[in-house]
A and B are shown apart, each in its own frame.
Chain A
């Protein structure tokens, strides 16, 4: 190819120079000039991106390191003089506490269930958006995206008031044809029903996000491939399984990863609806209550660091599990 020629030429020049004598130092001609330019471009790149990079470090890495440092102390904000280095003792307390493991279990349950439901619903919505006739496409996309545009706390309050019988929630009246639901059902008084509302609100709120990501994957699947499969006599189900889904693996992976990490950090819905009562405690709520509510900075930091580690592990598993190179967006 044409752009290889100068490189080849430069290499040849260097070899000739080496062969001509050892009195001159080896300074590849054109390659050296390119290198200078590359270096200056590199420098310019750093100058342009540097401030953003430093800012990112300041707002992300610094708090993480500070939390890791604080987690080694016994420190309550309102007893500042009793600050004491305790090593890994806070981690010992957290990791041997039933509540931590219970919260982790609830968090994982919510994560798995919401992501699975959202993946199926999101794909159906993406298909609907993809296949919608051109004139309606804009309206369909906008309509589907409305829940995602609503602030989480606001949607949490909306769902809470819909189901809370003390605040005149009307869902019991709407759903009383379903066995087991009557006007006296207090959704937030039992774990099962409380988790149902929390998960339903989460699914309602963030399915559009997944469907948007899947839609971008869907639009990358070549129509030729589908057509070829159909010509070969494949059924719609076979086209979906053998052609469409494998070709949008990267998009599915990104959707699952982003949503799983998001779902793992669930906070607003539970904070508003139950505040962790009836066994709906999750890790981020536990970290919040310990650090902010109880002002136990050391213990709370230890929970936050463990929460961060869990998110890291989750991301690692997702990336390895899907065997997708995120940077390139291609299958390895």
Chain B
């Protein structure tokens, strides 16, 4: 009897703890503490309805994806809110690992187009845009002036290659065998009016590619021209975003395509370079075609196995408020997905290129949205690397047949 009473008391205590404030775990990518700060802010605003705790994911996006995919496949209920890199979203949405986005958060009015596209899968918003990233064309004002190039007009890849060659300078591009290379090639193909996958929502064995196309050949011509002429510098084959930034900051720097993080990074490391630094929209493949800048950033999803999906979406609604996005941009350097956030005085003051970023995000074209994105990206890297060996006559076709073989499970990567 005494045992039964004790047990009942224990159960009562347990039941009591259930009524305590629910804790939402937000799996975040590493940043400068901005997401933890937003978690605190939204916990305060929730006024006891829930509290948000952050949990750190690995540093690079592919490792974050690996961990999340494994845990969600195992039905991990601890994943409430999660910061997701856009290209990997369809892979998690397709098997139902993400809880559906509620009606009130489906409204994408006032959100930059690139972020909306990257948060969508199968015609539906499956995650909520949080911050949006895009690459700009950064240039050394001194080099551009010496070459007499008018940067107020749209710039093509042919023009920047020509200036670099004439001035004996180097271009900051990402030639390493990693995701950065896929980002570059996708932007080139999209800007040439093509697309890597024609029907991204098809099953793996029915996928049709746009790789063996005039657009892909135009992209290959640009890549191989830079590779063959050595315009990317001696380190091009292994150059990631940081390496490109260092090339740009060196005496041989001229142009660079890169994410906005380079501005605060160079401001801290090399103010003299920043004084000589200009920025504009990502270069075009040809004069008569629109540019297609890469888009990145982070969207917020809710784990399908979360115990509090409704509260998680309430917390997301708080996190993504324009003033919070502006605060995150100013403190952590990550651009907002909300158009309104760009008008905040602090943003305009700290990031003189904020308007260019917003314009770029409206033009941005995401990487192929497909559940097989990782296979696709690895296959592109396998066939387009090193860039000095890319042959416009053969590489696009070889790349297409290799991707098909990989997607059908007939070939290893």
* Residues of chain A having any CB pair with chain B under 8 Å: 74, 77-81, 93-94, 97, 99-100, 164-167, 184-186, 188-189, 274-278, 286, 289-290, 292-296, 299, 303
Contacts and interface: CB of A to CB of B under 8 A. Distances in A.
A67 to B, nearest CB: 16
B7 to A, nearest CB: 32
Contacts of B73: 77-78, 80, 295
A94 B411 CA distance: 8
Interface in B58-72: 62, 66, 69-70
Contact of B237 (A80, A189, A296): A189
Contact of A165 (B62, B69, B234, B374): B234
Contact of B409 (A74, A167, A278): A74
Contacts of B386: 189, 278
B410 A275 contact: no
Interface string B372-394: 00110010000001100000000
A97 B411 CA distance: 6
Given A99-B411, A275-B178, A295-B73, 6 more contacts: A78-B92, A80-B95, A93-B411, A93-B412, A189-B238, A294-B375
A294 B371 contact: no
A79 B95 CA distance: 6
Interface residues of B, number: 34
Given A186-B234, A275-B178, A293-B66, A78 B409 contact: no
A305 to B, nearest CB: 15
Contacts of A185: 234
B157 to A, nearest CB: 22
Closest 3 interchain pairs by CB? A166-B243, A189-B237, A184-B234
Contact of B95 (A78, A290, A303): A78
Contacts, number: 89
Interface of B: 62, 66, 69-70, 73, 91-92, 94-95, 97, 176-178, 234-240, 242-243, 246, 371, 374-375, 378, 385-386, 409-413
A167 B178 CA distance: 16
A80 to B, nearest CB: 6
B306 to A, nearest CB: 18
Contact of B238 (A77, A99, A166, A303): A166
Contacts of B375: 294
A292 B58 CA distance: 14
B374 A294 contact: yes
B234 A94 contact: no
Contact of B412 (A77, A81, A94, A295): A94
A303 B412 CA distance: 10
B69 A295 contact: yes
Contact of B371 (A78, A97, A303): A78
Contacts of B66: 292-293, 295
24 contacts: A78-B69, A78-B73, A78-B91, A78-B94, A78-B95, A79-B94, A93-B409, A97-B412, A165-B234, A165-B235, A166-B242, A166-B243, A167-B243, A186-B237, A188-B237, A189-B235, A274-B177, A275-B177, A277-B237, A277-B385, A278-B386, A286-B412, A294-B413, A303-B412
Contacts of A276: 177
Contacts of A303: 412
A78 B68 CA distance: 11
